[in-house]
Amino acid sequence: SPILFWFRRDLRLSDHPGLSKVASTGRPVIPVFICDPSVDGLGAAPKWRLGEALRVFSEALEAKGSRLILRRGNALPILRGLAEETGAGAVHWSRLYDPDARERDEAVKSDLKGDGIEAVSHAGHLLFEPWTVETKQGGYYKVYTPFWRAVKDRDPGTASSAPSELAAPKHWPDSDRLGDWDMGAAMDRGAAVVAKHARVGEQKAQQRLGTFISNIIEGYDASRDLPGEDGTSRLSENLTYGEIGIRACWEAAQRAREDGKDGAETFLGELVWRDFAYHLLYHTPRLVSGNWREEWDAFPWNEDERSAEVKAWKQGRTGMPFVDAAMREMFVTGTMHNRGRMIVASYLTKHLMCHWKIGMKWFEDCLIDWDIANNSMGWQWAAGSGPDATPYFRVFNPETQIEKFDRDGAYRRAFIAEGQEDPPETALDYFEAIPRRWTMSPADEYPEEPIVGAKEGREAALKAYKERDF
């Protein structure tokens, strides 16, 4: 009988342990994607980008003589209905690790089994399953460096190649039309601008990995910190929808390391940061919902999302050029350089003393590489409420950061048009990319003074921490 493969964040054919497994049985495979409440509830940019991913993945399946069946509703009744309709005796999927997905998947698994349908979950999203990495005492890791040491020489397994064919069922079940789902509906801003930068689908992701390994990884140790350069892999948007497998990235970087390429080890370390974020999320699900260090509940965060400070931060008009360039980069490209993410998060949570959840939610709406584990870990790390040894006094200075990481001004010029005689397309595109309700133009004056200065913000934050004994 056919096997239903329920795709979620694994929209690829190669380095796909679950798909390899079902393809190897020779039984017909029916690929399914369900627009359930978790998909409907996505932020505007991730939802739009997922729609693009589904379009390209459907085409890739068609090239294999297969199809992606699209259905809308709650997963369990849809899978049950499809099993009944097609005579499928099994449902397979790749595991996810956030609390909502785990709860849903556990319920789906036990109910399907109760119906006599085989339900099988596979690894694939991570290098190492979160429960397989343990401290000597048998606990989970709360600090990155020992986690890295524990896994760096472990073998995550070999990346499989794409199945040569996926056997089709005798009859295909009906499918919704992707266009009818209108995945870009909430994108109240210029999706066309972001589309110029997005790299959608498995093939493009693999090409980018190739380019990164051949031309960029060698200098990655230095270039990864320079947001004005093309110095990182930019694979996060593909990793988040599973358009490229993490094992394939790991293998390519291991080969680069064996070839003596300098930045390879650092890059492997970044891939492990992603696993670490999932390890934390799995073992402490509150990472997404509340202060990881509970003593931070007592901190008097500014929680007013509508305040003038938050608005200026979101709009990239704080008057602090590094912060503004980064916030605008996010509108224009749908992603933000890691250096930018650290600086804007530090400025919001420390200089403006706003709750990290405000920033986390905004990123969730704006990033095409939004990743639940990386985003929540990143915000809590920056705010100081998270795990890993982040002393509260690590307040990034957005002015001295410029000296170190954007000395030639390439990043600021790329995204801030005001004051430039002949601004580049990316800087002008910002005005196309912002929400339609914001009325701003390149002719506006750039704020003369920052809303909160580097020194004054730092002092106020440190004073607040000291008063409360943080």
- Which amino acid does the sequence have at 352? L
Nearer to ligand FAD, 160 or 375 (CB): 375
Rounded CA separation 56/201 (Å): 6
For residue 343, the minimal CB distance to ligand FAD (Å) is 9
Given a contact cutoff of 8 angstroms between Cβ atoms, the answer to whether 45 and 194 are in contact is yes
Nearer to ligand FAD, 374 or 426 (CB): 374
Quote the crossing angle between the two packed helices 144-151 and 264-283, to the nearest 10°.
Answer: 110
For residue 364, the minimal CB distance to ligand FAD (Å) is 8
- 123: tokens are 């690894």
List residues near ligand FAD by CB under 6 A: 224, 232-236, 239-240, 270-271, 273-274, 277, 337-338, 341-342, 345, 363, 367, 369-371, 374-375, 378-379, 382
Nearer to ligand FAD, 322 or 379 (CB): 379
For residue 233, the minimal CB distance to ligand FAD (Å) is 3
For residue 413, the minimal CB distance to ligand FAD (Å) is 20
Q: E strands, 66-145, where?
A: 69-72, 90-94, 118-122
Other C-beta atoms within 10 Å of 17: how many? 18
Q: What is the DSSP string of 3-58?
A: EEEEESS---SSS-HHHHHHHHT-S-EEEEEEE-HHHHTS-HHHHHHHHHHHHHHH
Nearer to ligand FAD, 365 or 429 (CB): 365
For residue 15, the minimal CB distance to ligand FAD (Å) is 15
For residue 366, the minimal CB distance to ligand FAD (Å) is 10
Nearer to ligand FAD, 94 or 374 (CB): 374
**Position closest to ligand FAD via CB:** 378
Angle at 305 between CA 304 and CA 309, to 5 degrees: 85
Based on its alpha-carbon atoms, the radius of gyration of the chain, rounded to whole angstroms, reads: 23
For residue 214, the minimal CB distance to ligand FAD (Å) is 14
- For 320-385, what is the HEC assignment? CHHHHHHHHHHHHHCCCCHHHHHHHHHHHHHHCCECHHHHHHHHHHHCCCCCHHHHHHHHHHHHCC
Nearer to ligand FAD, 160 or 349 (CB): 349
Nearer to ligand FAD, 58 or 232 (CB): 232
| Three-state secondary structure call for residue 214 | helix
Nearer to ligand FAD, 310 or 367 (CB): 367
For residue 446, the minimal CB distance to ligand FAD (Å) is 24
Nearer to ligand FAD, 61 or 367 (CB): 367
Which among 180, 388, 386, 419 is positioned nearest to 286, based on CA atoms?
386
For residue 253, the minimal CB distance to ligand FAD (Å) is 9
Residue owning tokens 């905004």: 362
- 265: tokens are 């080890």
Given a contact cutoff of 8 angstroms between Cβ atoms, the answer to whether 20 and 70 are in contact is no
